[in-house]
Structure 1
Amino acid sequence: MEADREPLLKDDKSTVYDSIYPNQAIVINTSNNTSDDDILKDIGDKVVHETKLYKRRWYILVVFSLIAFAQGGIWNTWGPIAEASEEAFGWTDGDIALFANWGPIAYLIATFPLAWIIDVKGLRPACVISTFLVAAGAGVRCITDNPDYISWTVNIGQLLNGLAGPVAMGGPPVLSALWFPANERTTATAINLVFNNLGLGVSFIIGPYFVPDKPDKSNTTTFNTSTTDNQSIWYNISQINEARIHKERAEIMKLMYWECGLAVLVFLLVLVYFPNKPKLPPSISASAERVDFKSGVKQLFRNGKFWLIGLTYGVSLGVYGRWQSVLDVILKPHNISEEQAGWLGFYSLLAGCIVTLAIARFADVFSKHMRLFLLFLYVGAAGSLVWFTFLIQGTIPNSQIQLYASIIIFCMMIGSTSPLYFEMACEASYPVAEGVTNLVLTLLNNIVV
């Protein structure tokens, strides 16, 4: 964690760490009067004071954000088109829920291996592996639309996509620490998280766009056609229309091809240029060497402050994420169509993205008040969720405007807490590497899911 910022959960002490750059040692002083001049101590004939902010850091941020965008959007493919895909392939709501569940299941498998890769090998190998998994998962889903086999290909594809989740969700603070100075770190982390949410939001729009709502089966109409033999043949259009099913399958496969193309593009961007870290650190304290992976994991599991932060984050964001992924299914009994649910999910996530960036920027400027920001966000989220519950239960007169408003405010408030939690977790666990800290933090989220 940056030495020139006041810790959120602090103990007054100074500790000397080795540097990842030659002939340096770093003194991390958590007192209020620390400055960069206090940080560096000479341990050899030469001390390197030079730091540099690279303009390319914004390109690296965009590429990494696209990883989160693609992974999140592809993971959330099936919720927004649940009704059409259930008819096309004979699935149930349970099948749709399983597709979403592969994300947290795979997260449990991949968290510690990817944390080790980030800590020991660097961010680039982890990103190459993750983008390959996302592209491979999207490609597997394109193999067939045969109902006898597509359940297998979709489940495998969702599993592969989920294995990339730890880097997409837990990697942003690592990138921020490597490339950005202290006064931009929370904002950079928030931008990454915003792109992950945008991927989810866009999936609510793109899915129903490619796979529109099917006709209402409740409207049963019959008509009579006479043959040349004057025999009457009655057709009941309430029966499942085979031509419509074939059309739905074709539309779903078209969506699969587009998502696969996006995943392959992101994989190529990472493969072409995505360095492990800059040649020079963005700040002096950013060059401090973190403890090794094994020691870091041990320290993390003994750190009570981290677990207080992690459990609060995991319970609240985990429940929110699962609720969000099946929003279409939740609203189906209340006469909300797939298209309406899609736009509702999009507006909710878009509002959350805007507030997330604003809160993150305030947190960079007013770092002493993060807990106050969290309290404000949770009070707003709780109030809007109570409002939503009363509307659904009929306690207060239901209206579509109120339903939209309650969901949008809830998503906006609860979704904006993530970058604050990441920053607090990094400070509470320092000098454990950011990759280990935040991948374990987001693991708690996925355990709850």
Structure 2
Amino acid sequence: MYIKKGFNIHKSMDPISRKEEEDRELSQIFNKLTNYKVYPERWWLMATVVILNLANYAHWIAFPAVAKKAAAYYEVTGDQLDMIPTVSYAAGIPTCLLATYLVESRGLKFGIRIGSILTGLGGFLCCVGTFPGLSVYIPIHVQYWMALLGQAATGVACPFISCVPTKISLHWFPDNQRTLATTVIGMSYPLGIVVGQGLTPLIIKSPDQIPLMNIIFFIPAGIGAVLGIIKVKANTPPSPPSPSSQLCVNRKMNYIHTLKEVFTNKAFVIIFLFLGGAMSFISCLATKMEQIMCSVGYSDEMAGLTCSIVIFSGALGTVLFGVAAEKTGRMVEITKICCFGSIICLLVLSYLLLMPDVMGYIIAASVLLGVFTLGVFPLALELTVEATYPADQATVTCFIFLSSAVQGVLLMVTENWLGDPLPDKYKTIETCSMGHGVGDEESGFLEPKDYTNYLLFVVLYVTILICIYMFFFKTELRRTNANNIRKSMQIAKFRSDMDVESLIPGGMTVVRAVSPRKRLITC
């Protein structure tokens, strides 16, 4: 009997533990010999996309976060101000197909650069229109249209940036970092909402500070645009980081075939509706939160705090559920359990938002809603790739955001039809039409409404989508299975060729025992 020193396998181990330890060390050696490498450029790529998402979503949600002040500055009504975030959201709908085609045919670098340029351009239009010293030469209605066009440009940029999280994680990150990469990039959207919704009301205290808001959010947009042009240099790394990545790189993609493949996949169609609806609900909640809460007497700061708590607790949930999925491998079951919790929290929070003086309960409900709703967002994105592998990840992810945009516009526009006059008992406490301390002419730009019917519609709509997912979504983890099968086959071949290979201390002589039946070879 000989000791396999190279693999550090001990005689005292039971057969199962010895086999697992041997496979783990063989896998490490195999990765070194099969040229699977990772490159530092992946962190620049991830940082660029995160900054662009932060800039896009923060500036988009900043307008409704201070809706009264923005409406007063631009001298428009609440419905006219709502056009800014709505147009930004809707502008991504017609460009989704174009974005998926260009990213698939021209590559990751091309798509990110287009998104970077449009993000920088949109932020610049909003900033220059209200920039101190220049704004005196620009009529106020022109400033409003510049903000509208700027947000439309960032809306067009969103599909080019939003479709890349799973593509970056697959092609640039190894297996043990893939979930981390998807989580960081995926959570940059809600983190942008936190920054825009939570910090904007704390900084912008009066209508004349709206130019400051546009300057602040142009800074990350400009930085992201520069990074996207300078630091994103390749579509894929020189060598793939994993077997599943290698398979996708070698597979030629046909755009029409990809569309047919994903939309005939029952699992994808279900998650297309469910995840798009969940994302649109969060976006709609952030957009309408100030208007809903000010109608029953809450301030801008309280509305911003509520949205921020949802996102922060969601970020904590991603860590919790990410670890659970990593340990158990049961992504589908974890997401379905969270769906049940989401329904309960959604019902409770919607009821509380219609009541004054219950801020403590609203905060508690927001914490739980964030954990259950946003906590599984990165896992759900991973599931879309698992269900559709080896279809192009950019196409799959972008269609999820297309679903989100379409459903988001539907939910936002519906508010104009379902908003009823405010009951008399709330007219003395509402803060929507209050002035800002610089003149009575600033009152009335935001109309207080009764949002009971609107919230009932939203709750019913989202609950139906959640139930469809809980009862009908089933899929195998195709990417994980392909990765494991390919690696197992290659390790098995590797094991058949080499039992032991070790370096004798004190010299460069390599002793290799190929198998018990073959002679000892000394090189």
Common fold, TM-score beyond 0.5? yes
Listed one character per residue, the Cα deviations across residues 107-142 of structure 1 (whole Å, up to 9, x for unaligned) are 112111111121111111111110111110111112
The one-letter code of the counterpart of 2:213 is L
Deviation for aligned residue 1:83:
1.0
Paired position in structure 1 for 2:374:
415
In 1, Cα distance between equivalents of 2:277 and 2:141:
37
Would the aligned equivalents of 2:92 and 2:158 in 1 still touch at CA under 8 Å? yes
Provide closer, same or farther for how the CA distance between residues 377 and 96 of structure 1 changes in structure 2, counting only shifts above 3 A: farther
Would the aligned equivalents of 1:191 and 1:357 in 2 still touch at CA under 8 Å? no
Deviation for aligned residue 1:436:
0.8
TM score, norm. by length of structure 2: 0.66
Paired position in structure 1 for 2:71:
86
In 1, Cα distance between equivalents of 2:266 and 2:285:
29
In our comparison, the structure showing a higher alpha carbon Rg is 2
Is the counterpart of residue 68 in structure 1 residue 53 in structure 2?
Answer: yes
Paired position in structure 2 for 1:148:
141
Runs of 4+ in 1 over 4 A off after TM superposition: none
Deviation for aligned residue 1:393:
4.3
Paired position in structure 2 for 1:245:
none
In 1, Cα distance between equivalents of 2:224 and 2:308:
22
Is the counterpart of residue 176 in structure 1 residue 135 in structure 2?
Answer: no
Would the aligned equivalents of 1:106 and 1:163 in 2 still touch at CA under 8 Å? yes
Which shows bigger deviation, 126-135 or 334-343? 334-343
**Correspondence 1:13-28 to 2 at 5 A:** none
3-state SS in 2 of match to 1:280: coil
Unaligned 5+ residue runs, structure 1? 1-34, 39-47, 215-247
In 2, Cα distance between equivalents of 1:267 and 1:387:
41
Is the counterpart of residue 432 in structure 1 residue 394 in structure 2?
Answer: no
Residue of 184, 187, 194 corresponding to 1:201: 194
Residue of 375, 382, 394 corresponding to 2:336: 375
Is the counterpart of residue 252 in structure 1 residue 210 in structure 2?
Answer: yes
In 2, Cα distance between equivalents of 1:155 and 1:255:
15
Paired position in structure 2 for 1:353:
315
Would the aligned equivalents of 2:296 and 2:354 in 1 still touch at CA under 8 Å? no
Structure having the higher helix fraction is 2
Paired position in structure 1 for 2:14:
none
Listed one character per residue, the Cα deviations across residues 161-203 of structure 1 (whole Å, up to 9, x for unaligned) are 1011113332111110111123332221111122221111011
Residue of 176, 181, 188 corresponding to 2:181: 188
In 2, Cα distance between equivalents of 1:165 and 1:264:
15
Is the counterpart of residue 270 in structure 1 residue 228 in structure 2?
Answer: yes
3-state SS in 2 of match to 1:141: helix
Would the aligned equivalents of 1:317 and 1:445 in 2 still touch at CA under 8 Å? yes
Residue of 302, 315, 321 corresponding to 2:264: 302
Would the aligned equivalents of 1:185 and 1:364 in 2 still touch at CA under 8 Å? no
Paired position in structure 2 for 1:384:
345
The one-letter code of the counterpart of 1:387 is V
3-state SS in 1 of match to 2:62: coil
Listed one character per residue, the Cα deviations across residues 422-446 of structure 1 (whole Å, up to 9, x for unaligned) are 2111122122100111111221111
Paired position in structure 1 for 2:80:
95
3-state SS in 1 of match to 2:140: coil
Provide closer, same or farther for how the CA distance between residues 412 and 94 of structure 1 changes in structure 2, counting only shifts above 3 A: farther
Provide closer, same or farther for how the CA distance between residues 138 and 61 of structure 1 changes in structure 2, counting only shifts above 3 A: same
3-state SS in 2 of match to 1:139: helix
**Correspondence 1:107-186 to 2 at 5 A:** 107-145=92-130, 146-186=139-179
Paired position in structure 2 for 1:31:
none
In 1, Cα distance between equivalents of 2:120 and 2:145:
17
Deviation for aligned residue 1:256:
0.9
Which shows bigger deviation, 397-406 or 175-184? 397-406
In 1, Cα distance between equivalents of 2:123 and 2:45:
23
Deviation for aligned residue 1:384:
1.5
TM score, norm. by length of structure 1: 0.77
Residue of 281, 301, 324 corresponding to 1:339: 301
Deviation for aligned residue 1:398:
5.2
3-state SS in 1 of match to 2:240: coil
Provide closer, same or farther for how the CA distance between residues 322 and 202 of structure 1 changes in structure 2, counting only shifts above 3 A: same
**Structure with larger RCO (C-alpha < 8 A, sep 6+):** 1
Count of equivalent residues:
368
The one-letter code of the counterpart of 1:295 is H
3-state SS in 2 of match to 1:76: helix
Provide closer, same or farther for how the CA distance between residues 187 and 366 of structure 1 changes in structure 2, counting only shifts above 3 A: farther
Paired position in structure 1 for 2:358:
399
Listed one character per residue, the Cα deviations across residues 78-128 of structure 1 (whole Å, up to 9, x for unaligned) are 011111112222222212322111233111121111111211111111111
